[in-house]
Structure 1
Amino acid sequence: MKNKELLGIAILAAGIGAGVVYSGLQPNSWYQMSLSQSAHHDSAGTTTVAKTAYVSNDPATQAYDKVKASVVTVQNLQKKASLSQGIEAFLNQNKSQNNDNLETASEGSGVVYKISDGYAYIITNNHVVDGSAAIQLINADGQKIQAEVVGTDAGKDLAIVKAKTDILKTAATFGAVDKLKAGQSVLAIGSPLGSAYASTMTSGIISAPRRELSSKDTGGTALTTIQTDAAINPGNSGGALVNLDGQVIGINSAKISASSDGTSVEGIGFAIPADIVQNFINQNEK
């Protein structure tokens, strides 16, 4: 009999020191290129290859190119913990306005959705920025900039941060989600395992256009989500779930890591739909 209870829906900010198991590397199946070659025979009868041209018309590649520059790594900076200072000081350390002695506590992803009046506005997950003393963003080129949190909602697991546009020049576009169908191709773009793997894209399909996750499933937060089998890993939180038109249809948030009996689970990830994200933005942007 199948046990329908789910265990271990994981939020996906990558913590420092997290264990990582590496398996054999394989090329992504979505990436295909057409190869054209020209060759000729010289008078001696030997064959020489003159030129090789690679041309990619893959829609996934084109969608990725549209969105890549708008997806950033979000670093949650916190003060180095010291229990020797007492439990109260330990718990309240990040409430201080003194930002000396900060270190990266975790890394997630974010999506620039608007550029206005010299500022870039970024949507991410609440759990990515929760508990931070400061926020640092890293763009697709590896450049860093400080940011500030301007709105959060723990219940929706969403947050807005903003930063000056010095290194953030491109905003993504949201796509409609009311007509999503199971089986549609989607891409997940973000920083799995943190900034070392920034701008990573994985591909898959929509497994269910609307999946309700109960507060029991998620450990306290009921969420309406898009279910996908695109690979979503720690560090992908706050990143983009994208259609093949290069439009953001969701913000990646969670995955099921195991069933209640401890069976390993693959290919069950969740993103917060773009319509819920846009409603949150309209209510919380400052």
Structure 2
Amino acid sequence: MKKLLTAIVAAATIISAPGCSSVCYPVESQQQCVQSDPLEDIFKSIVCVRSKGKYQDENGDTFTTAQFGSGLAYKQEAGWSYVTTNHHVVNLPDEISRVDFFSAMPAKVWKKIEQEIAIVDSKYDSNSADDILLELIREDQSLDTVVLRAETPLYVSRAYEVSSLQEHLADDVYVLGVPLAFERGVTKGIVFNPQVELDGHYYTMLDITVQPGHSGSPVFVKEDDGRIYLVGQIRICMPHAMGICGGFGLATEMSELEDVWRINQKEPAHSPFYRVPEEEGSSPRRDTK
């Protein structure tokens, strides 16, 4: 009887443990409680986006350059996975002028002949076999945001809700991204100013450490009840003009982004990128442009 009472007390303690979600299951005649963290689930939807361009001069010489940012896989529809990041992450100029400081020759003009956007493990990823190609389908340069899509299935977290409401001063915020294009991570800060107007758009100013590579990172707010809300997208770190990323960042508000992302909407059937959902047992097909 003493052993039975001990087992009952232990089971009750586990089930009612604070901070533990109600996900309990029997393991070898015992109760084990698994704590479910929404941020850990969202973390699986964060990707490193690389935009790589190949340039050629008039003599046929070529060179390749690349830039990186963070992306969020936020939607799946009709066999596609949708990813968003900043416009400046994927935007490569059509021409580049390069000066050889050790030569008296004028600046040489290089023209872009190829561009590839892909999900990679990091800036140091040398294995191209597992790169996931992305296709640009929507962009808004004024908001510095784009929508990309992949045929490869990506993990899309359902552990958050979308909020277009204005945040409050000192709200806890979390930025999930790939700083320095090195490794995924989460940074915590607070809302410094919930509404800053710049160039006709509204942003949330964050007191948070963001670095190059955080561009395009989603911004989340965690409420007292544990719910997570997607509230925006990192645009720039400050002071941006100095090229130094310190303790502040600007995030585009979801009220500005929702129409571009179509986050809770179907893709328009008239879009040249729309693919008719396949019937069960049919082969994949894509509408021609």
Residue 45 of structure 2 is aligned to residue 70 of structure 1: yes
**% identical equivalent positions:** 24
The Cα shift of 1:174 comes to 4.5
Q: After superposition, what is the alpha-carbon deviation per residue over 1:142-169, rounded to whole angstroms, capped at 9, x for unaligned?
A: 8531110001111111100000233x12
Q: What secondary structure does 1:122 align onto?
A: strand
Letter in 2 for 1:170: V
| In 2: Cα distance, 1:113 partner to 1:179 partner | 21
The Cα shift of 1:175 comes to 2.5
Q: In terms of Rg, which structure is larger? A: 2
| In 2: Cα distance, 1:139 partner to 1:111 partner | 14
**Aligned positions of 1:88-167 closer than 5 A:** 103=64, 105-131=66-92, 133-138=115-120, 144-166=131-153
Letter in 1 for 2:136: V
Match of 2:233 in 1: 251
Letter in 2 for 1:249: V
- Does the CA-based 8 Å contact 2:70-2:216 persist in structure 1? yes
Gaps of 5+ in 2: 1-16, 22-35, 93-113, 272-289
Q: After superposition, what is the alpha-carbon deviation per residue over 1:87-124, rounded to whole angstroms, capped at 9, x for unaligned?
A: xx98xxxxxxxxxx8x5510101111111111111111
| In 1: Cα distance, 2:244 partner to 2:116 partner | 35
| In 1: Cα distance, 2:164 partner to 2:80 partner | 27
- Does the CA-based 8 Å contact 2:220-2:228 persist in structure 1? yes
What RMSD, in angstroms, separates the aligned Cα atoms of the two structures? 3.4
**TM-score, normalised with respect to structure 2:** 0.61
Aligned partner of 1:205 among 161, 176, 190 = 190
- Does the CA-based 8 Å contact 2:204-2:250 persist in structure 1? yes
- Does the CA-based 8 Å contact 1:188-1:242 persist in structure 2? yes
Question: Looking at both structures, which has the greater relative contact order when contacts are Cα pairs under 8 Å and sequence separation is at least 6?
Answer: 1
- Does the CA-based 8 Å contact 1:114-1:120 persist in structure 2? yes
Q: What secondary structure does 1:234 align onto?
A: coil
User: Residues 111, 258 of structure 1: CA spacing in aligned structure 2 closer, same or farther, 3 A cutoff?
Assistant: closer
The Cα shift of 1:200 comes to 1.0
Q: What secondary structure does 2:155 align onto?
A: coil
Letter in 1 for 2:231: I
Q: After superposition, what is the alpha-carbon deviation per residue over 1:48-107, rounded to whole angstroms, capped at 9, x for unaligned?
A: xxxxxxx99499x9342131011111100111x344538xx98xxxxxxxxxx8x55101
- Does the CA-based 8 Å contact 2:212-2:245 persist in structure 1? no
Aligned partner of 2:156 among 148, 165, 170 = 170
Letter in 2 for 1:85: N
| In 2: Cα distance, 1:84 partner to 1:175 partner | 49
**TM-score, normalised with respect to structure 1:** 0.62
User: Residues 169, 263 of structure 1: CA spacing in aligned structure 2 closer, same or farther, 3 A cutoff?
Assistant: closer
Aligned pair count reads 204
| In 2: Cα distance, 1:183 partner to 1:58 partner | 26
Residue 258 of structure 2 is aligned to residue 278 of structure 1: yes
